[in-house]
Structure 1
Amino acid sequence: MRDVTHDVPAPDRRAFLKRTGVLGATAAASSSLAACSAGPESTIDTGGPGSGRNRTLTAVIGYGNDGSWDPTQTASAFCMAGNHHIYEGLLDTDPISREPYAALATQVPGDLSGTSWKFTLRQGATFHDGKPVTADDVVFAFDRILDPDTQTLAKGFFASWLKEVRKIDARNVELVLKFPFPEGISRLTLAKIMPKHVFSRPGAWDDAIKGKAVGSGPYRQAAHHPKSNTTFEAFAGYNGPRRPAFKKMNWLTIVDAAPRVARISGSSAGAQIADNIPYANIEQLRSGGLSVAGAAGMNNLFLMFNTKHKPFDDVRVRQALHYAIDTEKMVEVALKGHGTPSSSFLNEGNPSYRRAKTVYDHDPEKAKALLKEAGVSGLEVEILAVNVSWIVDCLPTIKASWDAIGVRTTLSPQETTAVFTKLDQKQDYQVVAAASNPNQFGLDADLIMHYNYGPANLWMGYTRWADNAVAKKLFKDMEQATREPDADKKKTMIQDYIDVVAEQAVLYPVVHNELMTAWDPRNLSGIRAQPYPGINLLQAKWV
């Protein structure tokens, strides 16, 4: 079974293309991208093998590289990881701790209690085409994100608290906030600074979606072959804090698990690092001398209900189906112990985690009682699921659990693009099972919850729940929490409204799991497994 990107629903390309009229229909987006296939293998630029310190680092990424590369739009695991090497924000964040550090800016502001943050750009910073980075580029990037007439994914991370970005002079800018929002400082890594002279041209945003990437980061994009590979070269003009250690990098996209593992293992291994390692292959790779490490975070299997399709408008039915699932068995059998049953929307390692008031421990008798109370019998359910391999491994446990309480269950795993094309086209469905990992964007709970919930949110459009009275109250509570200046009180407010999200179970995680990364320690040092898809090599080097 194929591994496809965890970062569903990839609102980057579908929602953007649909809303801006680039393509007439969602289905056209998928067919258009499918047409951008790579040429025959002999034509693919791998960057050359090199030798010694100049040899090419080869990485295997278990997700597609044919999503949007537009930093304001993308939720693609491959493209986001690549962009972190190509672009810089004013500030960027450590891939593990998520602590902000000065990137294009010269320093992190010391006082975050006010509504004005001022930044000076790094002296001598240039884009990959040799043009200097200026305040105009910073304003250009933020204007796009905040433009009320442009639908971007990044807007949801900034518009609620950031009023505008002003140019002071050629190397200085001011961010004007609507209210004090210290959490926003770590989000600046999501606002990659893009060259105005490149991306203000007609059609340039379409080119960005297709793969055009020009930044000021340590690596420049050398070649891009959708569905095959993307190559990078060290940028000689880079003078920032995280210098490139590899002269060339070749990132292969291999979504099928078996060939991905084969590429990094055995005597013919051609890669030094791979992400998205299947649990069943961990010991095999370790016995071959590779390091394999996991990182637990928000990565989860969630259930999403169509609340306009009866009886899923009834909260008792949604709760019943969650209580029925034997999550301990799912973790043991499908995840080989590399996961935990959800006890909140957030994973247990999140700084804002608190065990929810409603926790769906396996309780089939309670599930049957709730269905009876709701007046539901003889329920037949089709689970529309993405075919990510570990999700498919989990589906039989859901079916067996629901069958055991008298719910006749049919499994329908499909390509991720097929599942979300149906949702974008507003086709009818009952329940969706898919994977998500908001940790790609950060750790702060306000960001995570707004990514999944909100009156105009893409996910809430899928659930058709936004006009519900409970939902409207939830959205108001979320906005109040965003504006709360006291950090401890804000944390409690978020935990309280997550209790509502848990109780309603409209879109809610079943299990959180670990993501595994493998690398050759005889070749690479400085590798840290991250709890979200992709890799970060900005602190790695040859042994």
Structure 2
Amino acid sequence: MISRKSLALALFGLMLASGTALAQSNEIRIGVALEPPALDPTAGAAEAIDVVVYQNIFEGLVRIDQSGAVQPGLADSWSISEDGLTYRFVLHEGITFHDGTSFDAEDVKFTFDRLLAEDSVNAQKALYAPISAVSVIDPATVEFTLSRPDGLFLFNLGRGDAVIVAPESADSNGTEPIGTGPFAFVQWDRGSRVVLEQYGPYWGDLPALTKATYLFISDTATMTNALLAGDVDGTNNFAPEALAVFEGNPQFKVLVGSTEGETILSTNNRKAPFDDLRVRQAMAHALDRQEIIDGATYGYGVPIGTHFAPHHPYYLDLVGTYPHDLEKAKALLAEAGYPDGFSATLKLPPVAYARLSGQIIASQFAEVGIKLELINAEWAQWLEDVFANKDFDLTIISHVEPFDIGIYANPDYYFGYDNADVQALNETLNATTDEAERQALAQEIQTVIAVDAVNGYLFELAQTGVWNAKLDGMWQNAPVEGVVLRDIHWVE
């Protein structure tokens, strides 16, 4: 028979154990491949910075959600003048930075004055060039005056490059970041981890997680072992060639989504024979996307038919514009004066998806008489020869900038597409703020470049996350860089 004292001790021990389990269930350990060089997203270009801090430590006036849409952030609401040149934001009140200092319109002005200053080191400073003035109307109201309409202005305000910082802490954010987000910085053990904890006075809804640790694990085998051993609870972008270890394992969930990486067979439109639409159409018909996706991404790429991310609300599915049809490809080549095909070079940067895709495409093109010489290039050589000097026939590359369809309106861009209609459409798009009108214009540009077969549209790079099966709320897609913690929670 158990004594009362023993029973009390047993119950106390059970309570302690339950409390420990509860505490653990509110924490998460995330494995990431790259350690950030610093922790200030307004002063560095590395994606690894945003993976840790975006929407966790730092917030902007607006934020980007998983679909790529703009949502309120530190600004509760905004209005836009009829000419599209004035944006007035009404801020949430009662917000504090993690050091206890208050947030108001002066911090917004400071942030953008700093971003636009002559000595600014912001990696995306050019995106904010249309801003001619930032005016404080009152502590809860700030106004931006633009020199020209910019339809992407709100989206760009939601990027990590435009998060709001305070004058008291801006200079030290690289090593001790202080923001307004739901998580506060605790420590950075260089070469090992960054630790964040829930910020209790957070102005919005508190997240379910109370602590998040980012562990830096660059080696795929080491990451695999850490996941299997339970040393990390998940990773946002795991090597696709190793995903088979976790697929079908009930202890894990594999989330496959898309990123902003449009992978294309980039084509030199200035150069014969690629300046002939029929040749580009023939190449489009010769491509077997699924074979490329299976071979180069282990089946995890998302097929695309134009230069736009499938997760974006403006996306138009144009994959069927030029279906795989070898006979049609041969007929178009003959019509263009190349009945026996032609020879060309395919310059490949040093990334696996490009090198693998190149081998597959060379085999596919050989079936219609197009003989490709594969030339492997290191990044510096690729950037100089292909991107800067435009010395190439074909290349394979992923374009990872969000909403970058405007590159097709630049005839000096490396693939040399010059279409006055697209240039006019893009100019109208940039000056338009109405969402429905913007969507229609973006979809019209998507259609034109698909029909013109400007490039060979292959696939969207996949985001392949591996997570503990009891976790939920992770982003499946990646419209911007970051591992956003606010919705992640443990489930029974």
Aligned match of 2:422 in 474, 493, 500? Answer: 474
Verify: 1:527 aligned to 2:479, yes or no: no
Normalised by the length of structure 2, the TM-score is 0.77
Aligned match of 1:284 in 233, 242, 245? Answer: 245
Pairing of 1:327-342 with structure 2 (within 5 A): 327-335=289-297, 337-342=299-304
- How far is 1:478 from its partner? 0.4
Structure-2 separation of matches of 1:270 and 1:364 = 50
Structure-2 separation of matches of 1:186 and 1:396 = 37
Aligned match of 1:139 in 109, 112, 120? Answer: 109
Q: Which stretch of structure 1 is more off in the superposition, 113-122 or 88-97?
A: 113-122
Equivalent residue for 1:217?
181
- How far is 1:163 from its partner? 4.8
- How far is 1:327 from its partner? 1.3
- Does structure 2 conserve the Cα–Cα contact (< 8 Å) formed by 1:223 and 1:232? yes
Once the two structures are superposed, what CA deviation does each residue of 1:362-416 show, in whole Å capped at 9, x if it has no partner?
A: 233443444455556541313313414x454433321211222333334455666
Letter in 1 for 2:231: G
Equivalent residue for 2:143?
174
Structure-2 separation of matches of 1:74 and 1:358 = 39
Pairing of 1:313-352 with structure 2 (within 5 A): 313-335=275-297, 337-352=299-314
Equivalent residue for 1:399?
362
Equivalent residue for 2:195?
232
Once the two structures are superposed, what CA deviation does each residue of 1:195-253 show, in whole Å capped at 9, x if it has no partner?
A: 33444x6xx8xx85xx7744332334445577x45403226465221435545433234
Letter in 1 for 2:71: P
- Does structure 1 conserve the Cα–Cα contact (< 8 Å) formed by 2:303 and 2:319? no
Give the direction of change, closer, same or farther, for the CA distance of 1:536–1:490 in structure 2 (3 Å limit).
Answer: closer
Equivalent residue for 2:349?
385
Structure-2 separation of matches of 1:334 and 1:259 = 23
Give the direction of change, closer, same or farther, for the CA distance of 1:335–1:270 in structure 2 (3 Å limit).
Answer: same
Structure-2 separation of matches of 1:495 and 1:92 = 23
Equivalent residue for 1:539?
487
Pairing of 1:289-304 with structure 2 (within 5 A): 289-296=251-258, 298-304=260-266
Pairing of 1:457-472 with structure 2 (within 5 A): 461-463=413-415, 465=416, 469-470=418-419
- Does structure 2 conserve the Cα–Cα contact (< 8 Å) formed by 1:221 and 1:230? no
Pairing of 1:182-221 with structure 2 (within 5 A): 184-190=153-159, 191-199=162-170, 213-221=177-185
Give the direction of change, closer, same or farther, for the CA distance of 1:273–1:355 in structure 2 (3 Å limit).
Answer: closer
Pairing of 1:148-163 with structure 2 (within 5 A): 154-155=124-125, 157-159=127-129, 163=132
Structure-2 separation of matches of 1:67 and 1:322 = 41
- How far is 1:348 from its partner? 4.8
Verify: 1:118 aligned to 2:89, yes or no: yes
Secondary structure of residue in 1 paired with 2:322: coil
Pairing of 1:425-504 with structure 2 (within 5 A): 426=389, 428-438=391-401, 441=402, 447-450=403-406, 452-455=407-410, 461-463=413-415, 465=416, 469-470=418-419, 473-484=421-432, 487-504=435-452
Letter in 2 for 1:449: I
Verify: 1:164 aligned to 2:133, yes or no: yes
- Does structure 1 conserve the Cα–Cα contact (< 8 Å) formed by 2:280 and 2:455? no
- Does structure 1 conserve the Cα–Cα contact (< 8 Å) formed by 2:78 and 2:87? no
- Does structure 2 conserve the Cα–Cα contact (< 8 Å) formed by 1:529 and 1:535? no
Secondary structure of residue in 2 paired with 1:304: strand
- Does structure 1 conserve the Cα–Cα contact (< 8 Å) formed by 2:67 and 2:313? no
Equivalent residue for 1:44?
none
- How far is 1:159 from its partner? 4.5
Q: CA RMSD in A?
A: 4.0
- Does structure 1 conserve the Cα–Cα contact (< 8 Å) formed by 2:152 and 2:430? no
Letter in 2 for 1:430: D
Structure-1 separation of matches of 2:345 and 2:52 = 39
Pairing of 1:233-272 with structure 2 (within 5 A): 233-234=196-197, 236=199, 238-243=201-206, 245-265=208-228, 268-272=229-233
Letter in 2 for 1:535: V
Letter in 2 for 1:120: L
- Does structure 1 conserve the Cα–Cα contact (< 8 Å) formed by 2:32 and 2:217? yes
**Structure 1: gaps (5+ residues):** 1-49, 442-446
Verify: 1:65 aligned to 2:26, yes or no: no
Secondary structure of residue in 2 paired with 1:361: coil
Structure-2 separation of matches of 1:453 and 1:437 = 15
Letter in 2 for 1:341: P
Count matched residues.
462
Structure-1 separation of matches of 2:486 and 2:343 = 52
- How far is 1:274 from its partner? 1.1
Q: Which has the larger radius of gyration?
A: 2
- How far is 1:318 from its partner? 3.9
Secondary structure of residue in 2 paired with 1:501: helix
- Does structure 2 conserve the Cα–Cα contact (< 8 Å) formed by 1:324 and 1:367? yes
- Does structure 1 conserve the Cα–Cα contact (< 8 Å) formed by 2:149 and 2:430? no
Secondary structure of residue in 1 paired with 2:78: coil
- Does structure 2 conserve the Cα–Cα contact (< 8 Å) formed by 1:383 and 1:409? no
Once the two structures are superposed, what CA deviation does each residue of 1:251-303 show, in whole Å capped at 9, x if it has no partner?
A: 234444443333212xx231101122345544532415112222246543212
Equivalent residue for 2:59?
88
Normalised by the length of structure 1, the TM-score is 0.70
Secondary structure of residue in 2 paired with 1:530: coil
Give the fraction of aligned pairs with identical amino acids, expressed as a percent.
23
Equivalent residue for 1:32?
none
